[in-house]
Amino acid sequence: MTTTPIIELRNISYSYPQAPKPILKDLNFSITEKNYGIVGSNGCGKTTFFQIIVGLLKPDEGELLFKGAPVTDKTMLRALRKDVGFLFQSSDDQLFSPTVIEDVAFGPLNLGYQPAEARELALETLNKLGLYGFEERITHRLSGGEKKLVALATILAMNPKVLLLDEPTNNLDPETRERLITILQGLDQNQIIISHDWDFLNKTNSVLFQIEHGHIHRCEEDHIHVHSHIHKAGAHPHRHEH
Ligand SMILES: Nc1ncnc2c1ncn2[C@@H]1O[C@H](COP(=O)(O)OP(=O)(O)OP(=O)(O)O)[C@@H](O)[C@H]1O
């Protein structure tokens, strides 16, 4: 039995105004796996791809389908956005309320929850992410890592079915990064993750796709990459998981 993918992109092309050529060209993609890792060089169009998925950018050609139906009007787009949460690369673009609780309750309020219910949902979500006692904190004074987790809370409070995560481990210290990995590993949602952090993508069990020359394709199985890193205890022989 085949199931209809929640999101599908068919023959999508998109050019930024004044750009000499399309950044995405005849791109096809559908969500059939649980988690995806999206890789590709800087400027290849990864964030643009996410913006197309949530309808922030309208493709010049091709179709965006939600649960098998083309997204052609605002009602469809609203339904899609309810199910697809987008964690921006910069948390400052995501957080805009004075306090953490207001930011996290904003989504549920928008979905029609009563203020008390929205607050309860927001508190539950913060607690689930280990952000105990954060509710009255001033959002713009949080550290970068704290902002990232609060931004994730604003999305999870709306209980979307799909998460789009744009370079979520950027600027996280090793401990917060591990915390984020544990959180994501425990979620039921489909996750599409843009990242240059291969180890992170590996730990989130993501099927790797690459954006290149406007297209997206599945990376070869057993993709080999060269990397180097510093060891605290100096040089010693060791094996890697990959
Ligand atoms: N609003 C815009 N107007 C014109 N060009 C844009 C706009 N936004 C992005 N671009 C250009 O489109 C290209 C793709 O941008 P995008 O942000 O999708 O890349 P990316 O793959 O996410 O890059 P990175 O890995 O550096 O985050 C880049 O060359 C960028 O400069």
ipTM of the complex: 0.97
Alpha carbon distances (Å) from 238 to 201, 233, 234: 21, 12, 11
Q: What is the mean pLDDT of the chain?
A: 91
Which numbered atom of ligand 1 lies nearest the CA of 44? 21
235 pLDDT band (50/70/90 cuts)? low
Question: Quick one: average pLDDT of 12-28?
Answer: 95
Mutate to test the pocket of ligand 1, among 13, 27, 48 (most ligand atoms within 8 A of CB): 48
pLDDT value at residue 205 = 85
For the stretch 169-204, what's the b/e string if a residue is b when 16 or more beta carbons lie within 10 angstroms of its beta carbon? bbebeeebbebbbebbeeeebbbbbbbebbbbbebb
Question: Quick one: average pLDDT of 41-51?
Answer: 96
Residue nearest to atom 28 of ligand 1 (CA): 43
pLDDT value at residue 240 = 53
220 pLDDT band (50/70/90 cuts)? confident
Which numbered atom of ligand 1 lies nearest the CA of 41? 25
Closest to 38 in 3D by CA, of 171, 166, 150, 144: 166
Closest to 53 in 3D by CA, of 37, 19, 30, 69: 30
| Higher-scoring residue by pLDDT: 238, 128 | 128
Question: Is the model's pLDDT at 49 over the cut of 60?
Answer: yes
Question: Is the model's pLDDT at 40 over the cut of 60?
Answer: yes
232 pLDDT band (50/70/90 cuts)? low
pLDDT value at residue 226 = 47
Closest to 34 in 3D by CA, of 206, 184, 199: 206
| Distance, CA of 97 to CA of 147 (rounded, Å) | 12
Question: Is the model's pLDDT at 233 over the cut of 80?
Answer: no
**Burial zone of 63 (CB within 10 Å; 0-12 exposed, 13-18 middle, 19+ buried):** middle
pLDDT value at residue 17 = 93
User: 88: phi > 0 → left, psi -120 to 50 → alpha, else beta; which?
Assistant: beta
- Ligand 1 centroid–CA 43 distance in Å is 5
Q: Coil, helix or strand for 36? A: strand
At which residue do the structure tokens 């069990």 appear? 205
**pLDDT tens for each residue of 93-131:** 999 999 999 999 999 999 999 999 999 999 999 999 999
Question: Quick one: average pLDDT of 141-166?
Answer: 96
- Ligand 1 centroid–CA 125 distance in Å is 32
Residue nearest to atom 10 of ligand 1 (CA): 16
Mutate to test the pocket of ligand 1, among 13, 15, 23 (most ligand atoms within 8 A of CB): 23
**Burial zone of 27 (CB within 10 Å; 0-12 exposed, 13-18 middle, 19+ buried):** buried
Question: Is the model's pLDDT at 227 over the cut of 70?
Answer: no
Residue nearest to atom 5 of ligand 1 (CA): 16
Question: Is the model's pLDDT at 242 over the cut of 50?
Answer: no
Question: Quick one: average pLDDT of 72-85?
Answer: 94
* Residue ranges in the chain assigned as alpha helix (H): 46-53, 74-83, 100-110, 115-128, 144-156, 174-185, 198-203
Question: Is the model's pLDDT at 224 over the cut of 50?
Answer: no
Assess contact for 48 and 129: CB atoms under 8 A: no
Contacts of 172 (CB under 8 A, 6+ apart): 144, 145, 148, 180
Tell me the HSE value of 24 on the side-chain side, using a 13 A CA sphere.
Answer: 30
Residue nearest to atom 6 of ligand 1 (CA): 16
